[in-house]
Amino acid sequence: MSKVYPSDLSHNQFEFLNDLLPPAKPGGRPRSVDLWAVLNAIFYVIAEGIQWRALPSDFPVWQTVYTYFRNWRDDGTWMRIHDQLREWSRIQAERHPSPSEGIIDSQSVKTAAMVQQAVGFDAAKQIKGRKRFISVDTLGLVLRVLVTAANVGEREGGKQVLKRVTSMGKAVSRLTTIWVDGGFDGAPFMMWVMDICRWVVQVVLRPEQTKGFTVLKKRWVVEMTHPHCPHKPQYCQGKTLTF
């Protein structure tokens, strides 16, 4: 009997996702692997941060699991699942499936010692590594994410991540306003967003002489959505900001 791990999907969760998975390709041998076990294996790797080759033996063989993960990444399955879950989460929260407001932010993070791709130095934050540009709705549910070298500027990265948001089509048909912090301020960026995306940029600045973390109107949600945010326990207890 297989072990039960904290990252495993329940039966109801698997049934919820199963209809979003692509069917087996016609021809050839029938699919013999259990997709429930494949998903559990993928989530185990993500939750534990292990190498694919280190998968416990009670999961399907790692080569099979990785092949499904890679194929679903390349054919857009993961993105479709993500977008559908976000819409269902908004409906469950009694919101319209398409948000009317969004928030973007960036976070520079150090990279592992052996990582060489897309690495740069963020002079403002004195960090050598990568930068995550994240866009979320007002519930903190992720719209799109962009990973760049840490030396990519806020406005340039903001343009790139907003281009990804515009490609979502109907899913963001009601979007009118983007909330940002002072790093994205400036007429050229605001005009670009208005001309290309047809949205209005609203800048929320930190109060003068404020030190440390401060809850800012609208923008606090994106701060809580960032991975490894140190302020989550204090401000997010009892709130579901991501799925």
Q: Which residue has the tokens 């319209």?
A: 96
With bands split at pLDDT 50, 70 and 90, how would you rate the model's confidence at 198? very high
Instruction: Tell me, yes or no, whether 111 and 182 share the same domain.
Output: yes
Instruction: Tell me, yes or no, whether 106 and 70 share the same domain.
Output: no
Instruction: Tell me, yes or no, whether 154 and 225 share the same domain.
Output: yes
Cα radius of gyration rounded to whole Å, the chain? 20
Instruction: Tell me, yes or no, whether 111 and 144 share the same domain.
Output: yes
Q: Is the pLDDT of residue 115 over 90?
A: no
Instruction: Tell me, yes or no, whether 133 and 36 share the same domain.
Output: no
Q: Which residue has the tokens 């909330």?
A: 179
Instruction: Tell me, yes or no, whether 102 and 68 share the same domain.
Output: no
Work out whether strand 120-122 and strand 101-110 pair parallel, antiparallel, or are unpaired. Answer: unpaired
Instruction: Tell me, yes or no, whether 195 and 107 share the same domain.
Output: yes
Instruction: Tell me, yes or no, whether 16 and 128 share the same domain.
Output: no
Proportion of the chain above pLDDT 70, given as a percent: 80
Amino acid at position 54, single letter: A
Instruction: Tell me, yes or no, whether 148 and 228 share the same domain.
Output: yes
Q: What does residue 232 show for φ and ψ, rounded to 5 degrees?
A: -60, -50
CA distance 23 to 35: 11
Mean pLDDT score of the chain? 85
Tell me: the pLDDT tens digits for 68-104? 999 999 999 999 999 999 999 999 999 999 999 999 9
Q: What is the model's pLDDT at position 234?
A: 37
Per the structure, the count of domains in the chain is 2
Q: Is residue 86 domain-resident? A: no
CATH of the domain at 192: 3.30.420
Q: Is residue 170 domain-resident? A: yes
Are 108 and 125 in contact, with CB atoms under 8 Å apart? Answer: yes
Domain extent at residue 106:
97-235
Closest by CA to 223, choosing from 134, 163, 143, 145, is: 134
Q: Is residue 85 domain-resident? A: no
Distances from the Cα of 50 to the Cα of 3, 43, 74, 116, angstroms: 17, 11, 21, 20
With bands split at pLDDT 50, 70 and 90, how would you rate the model's confidence at 24? confident
Q: Is residue 197 domain-resident? A: yes
Of 94 and 227, the structure prediction assigns the larger pLDDT to: 94
Distances from the Cα of 177 to the Cα of 98, 199, 201, angstroms: 13, 5, 6
* 3-state secondary structure at position 58: coil
Instruction: Tell me, yes or no, whether 22 and 113 share the same domain.
Output: no
Instruction: Tell me, yes or no, whether 194 and 123 share the same domain.
Output: yes
Instruction: Tell me, yes or no, whether 172 and 118 share the same domain.
Output: yes
CA distance 177 to 197: 10
pTM here is 0.81
Q: What is the model's pLDDT at position 230?
A: 45
Q: What is the DSSP letter of 8?
A: P
Q: What is the model's pLDDT at position 235?
A: 36
Amino acid at position 114, single letter: M
Q: Is residue 84 domain-resident? A: no
